Amino acid sequence: MFKFGMGELVIILLIVLLLFGASRLPEIAKALGKSIKEFKKAGKEIKDDITEVTDDEKKG
């Protein structure tokens, strides 16, 4: 979808650093990591639910 090169990533990182400051970056990264983890967990749960329902329909 989006293709970022190394130059674009450096510019984005510098903008984030200017906006939030160096002391807040670890907090932001931690929150982002937790959000991604929860999103993946929710996606897996939905996939498992769909698989369970379709398996039940095939058996029944």
* Structure token digits, residue 18: 């200017």
In one-letter notation, the amino acid at residue 8 is E
Annotated domain spans of the chain: 22-60
Cβ neighbors of 12 (< 8 A, separation 6 or more) are 4
Per-residue pLDDT of the chain (60 residues; tens, 9 = 90+): 678 788 998 898 889 889 988 888 889 889 989 999 999 999 999 999 999 988 888 876
- What is the dihedral angle through the alpha carbons of 44, 49, 55, 58, rounded to the nearest 10 degrees? -130
* Structure token digits, residue 23: 């002391």
Q: Rounded distance, CA 37 to CA 42, Å?
A: 9
pTM reported for the whole predicted model: 0.61
